[in-house]
Amino acid sequence: MSDADAALMEASLIAVADAGIDIRLPLFERFFDAYPNRRASFISVDAASRRMTDETLAMMLGLAQREGWVWPLIAELVFTHRNYGALPIAEYDAFIDRTVGELELAAAPVWSDATAAAWQRHADALKAMIRKARAEWASAMPAGAPQVA
């Protein structure tokens, strides 16, 4: 399942790249439409949107490919994001869902139910790992940990 998922996910990423579509700005605009107060958290949307979009996609693909670097990167992501204020878990979920949603729009010609299911499986896994990282930081370093909820 995971190899088949990875192949479908890669095909959608390649289609978007071949079409020359950059999903990050519409992704961030739609995210800020849902969470307008969060816009002020960003010093540079241009800089952050490149890395946040890229890493979110890379983490989901990496999970499908059973890459060992994904978990340490998630643990680091959760900890460094404590610098950006109290980020509710619902905003992580929404950002991940919106990322897949933008990809679907951009990859429409090659998108299928199987492609959607592949991304969904690894979006769910990423969300679960973010929750686990938040809980583990809270237990290991209660004073400096990101909030769990």
- Which positions lie near ligand HEM, rule CB under 6 A? 38, 41-44, 47-48, 51-52, 55-56, 77, 81, 84, 87, 91-92, 95-96
Q: CB-wise, 85 or 109, nearer to ligand HEM? A: 85
**Is the CA virtual torsion 46, 78, 16, 25 positive or negative?**
negative
Question: What is the rounded CA–CA span in Å between residue 78 and residue 109?
Answer: 34
Exposed / middle / buried, residue 138 (Cβ in 10 Å: 0-12, 13-18, 19+): middle
CB of 120 to ligand HEM, least distance (A): 15
CB of 68 to ligand HEM, least distance (A): 17
Q: CB-wise, 55 or 136, nearer to ligand HEM? A: 55
CB of 26 to ligand HEM, least distance (A): 16
Q: CB-wise, 35 or 110, nearer to ligand HEM? A: 35
Closest by CA to 60, choosing from 23, 10, 21, 110, is: 10
User: φ and ψ at 109, to 5 degrees?
Assistant: -65, -25
SS3 70: helix
Q: CB-wise, 93 or 110, nearer to ligand HEM? A: 93
CB of 122 to ligand HEM, least distance (A): 12
